[in-house]
Structure 1
């Protein structure tokens, strides 16, 4: 396989023209992935549109090894929660399929109205005619949140259940109204009185005491509904509901 053929790949071509370095291992990657098709004697390979060059490499290498070239099927990339980058755990713009129903539902509702229609196209089992009719309803004055709730319930039900999706919707409503969810983690701690920063860390509501203090500075921490503003607060023994932001809760029993 020639370097000239490698340079046909769009990003390699653009980077070469711009004088941006291209590492040798980047040239090796398509070859190694392509050889997988040879080793597997693949008939069909699936991938995102960004993998088209690598998939075609598999076809080429199969022909070189005297095999029937595989068919390839590419799929559009799913944009993540930010609506810009493709969904990726490393970019923290993803919804994990093993996440709990409440988190999954809330994350879908956090996307933009524009991204919602893209997700409908790529993720919903509704027909394109149904999606287009829903879009026209929204353009005609229907609240786009109605459509987003429908999408959130459909996705949540797919990985959990319809009942779990209904419960997640009610949980979201309760949180948005400042209520406390029915099902929150129970945490037992010892060491009273405990500094609020240390308590947030110990309860799993902050990654560190310093992060807990930053959350307090931002007004994002509540104890039994009251905003915590004192980073030096010592929490006495007893049971209280600690909230961080809109989504994180814990019922903490401190002894």
Structure 2
């Protein structure tokens, strides 16, 4: 039983530090019914979770099957500092109102994945603010500056002369202190979080709490571009609150190679079944598009419903396979005449007129289902169907 649980837990994992402790926790659960605590922290720097976040959440949900109580820590305090991981400049501070609003949305979204009855939603301000000035000073004595500068991103910035604020040095200490305050048994995070995750082990020793957490690191899920990690700021994400049609369409847009990465990290299918699918694709028995559609169906059904997944596929086929217009499009109004690039921005199809110009030149724009590459086009009075790329449609009434 322990061996099969461990195989399932290790699927897709990049690294485990202190696997022996993980085995002991599982053994105590199966033999004695003892629960244990698995912690992960999320800084609410954006209002919505995306599929990149769910790689971690799904692994935590798996632990819940094997006796874990998940400590879902919302970094409402640390979020106002900003995690310096991977940053080449000091991160912009978020105000408390923004952090709390984002935190609320996280709290509503995590139970799309986690078992509510086995999850503690915690805000780290509740114990960090209780530290006070003396407690904070004591915390800073547990680690020295030379070791802090061993961290790769700090080292690069220091050598290049880029500024590093003292608050950024505090961030890994505060994240590590979460493990002290909550006496976590396992902490999980992305591979880019290794320094911060190990800090939790270090501080649990320094504060002599009687345990030392294991660390499990998950790979970072690549975004739709297949290059950069999934990120809202890069626009290469699939949000867990995306509408079913949008979610399905985004899933179908990933490359055939990236599809297998998504299967491994996001699908509930076993590795054996995924390997069997790979072989069928390789042998030409099944088309990659069909396999991708099955994954898109699974993801939409998970975050919406089975019915929504079926309807999303029907809509996708209608628009892309049969070259028909979507059955549901947002309608906008404007005063004519209007420059096409400005119209695209006003309708939310483009973030800026400069980006609109680039997309028009690259033949990504259709007006009334006819390709248009005239960046100076003016829309006179009338009704138009504007389309950018394969998935973005609006109806515009120019009066």
* TM-score, normalized by the shorter chain, greater than 0.5: yes
How far 1:63 sits from its partner (Å)?
Answer: 2.1
Out of 198, 218, 233, the residue aligned to residue 362 of structure 2 is 218
Match of residue 74 from structure 1: 216
RCO greater where, 1 or 2, for CA within 8 Å and sep 6 or more?
A: 2
Whether the aligned pair in 2 keeps the contact of 1:45 and 1:72 (CA below 8 Å) is: yes
SS in 2 for 1:165: helix
Take 1:114 and 1:205, find their aligned partners in 2: how far apart are those partners?
A: 28
| Aligned pairs for 1:43-192 within 5 A | 43-77=185-219, 78-141=221-284, 142-177=286-321, 178-187=323-332, 189-192=333-336
How many residue pairs are counted as aligned between the two chains? 252
SS in 2 for 1:242: strand
How far 1:69 sits from its partner (Å)?
Answer: 2.7
Query: Against the structure 1 CA distance between its residues 86 and 230, is the aligned structure 2 distance closer, same or farther, given a 3 Å change threshold?
Result: closer
Match of residue 233 from structure 1: 377
How far 1:59 sits from its partner (Å)?
Answer: 2.0
Query: Against the structure 1 CA distance between its residues 82 and 242, is the aligned structure 2 distance closer, same or farther, given a 3 Å change threshold?
Result: closer
TM-score, normalised relative to structure 1: 0.83
Whether the aligned pair in 2 keeps the contact of 1:34 and 1:55 (CA below 8 Å) is: yes
Whether the aligned pair in 1 keeps the contact of 2:186 and 2:215 (CA below 8 Å) is: yes
Whether the aligned pair in 2 keeps the contact of 1:242 and 1:249 (CA below 8 Å) is: yes
| CA-to-aligned-CA distance 1:70-126 (integer Å, 9 cap, x gap) | 423424222222333332223333211111122211222222222222211111111
Take 1:132 and 1:94, find their aligned partners in 2: how far apart are those partners?
A: 26
Query: Against the structure 1 CA distance between its residues 84 and 196, is the aligned structure 2 distance closer, same or farther, given a 3 Å change threshold?
Result: closer
SS in 2 for 1:179: coil
Query: Against the structure 1 CA distance between its residues 162 and 191, is the aligned structure 2 distance closer, same or farther, given a 3 Å change threshold?
Result: same
Query: Against the structure 1 CA distance between its residues 204 and 89, is the aligned structure 2 distance closer, same or farther, given a 3 Å change threshold?
Result: closer
How far 1:20 sits from its partner (Å)?
Answer: 6.0
Whether the aligned pair in 2 keeps the contact of 1:6 and 1:12 (CA below 8 Å) is: no
Query: Against the structure 1 CA distance between its residues 24 and 134, is the aligned structure 2 distance closer, same or farther, given a 3 Å change threshold?
Result: same
How far 1:157 sits from its partner (Å)?
Answer: 1.3
Take 1:211 and 1:85, find their aligned partners in 2: how far apart are those partners?
A: 20
Whether the aligned pair in 2 keeps the contact of 1:237 and 1:254 (CA below 8 Å) is: yes
User: Which consecutive residues of structure 1, in runs of 5 or more, have no partner in the other structure?
Assistant: none
Whether the aligned pair in 2 keeps the contact of 1:194 and 1:236 (CA below 8 Å) is: yes
| CA-to-aligned-CA distance 1:164-203 (integer Å, 9 cap, x gap) | 222222332233343211111122x242233323322222
Take 2:204 and 2:398, find their aligned partners in 1: how far apart are those partners?
A: 65
User: Which consecutive residues of structure 2, in runs of 5 or more, have no partner in the other structure?
Assistant: 1-142
Match of residue 387 from structure 2: 243
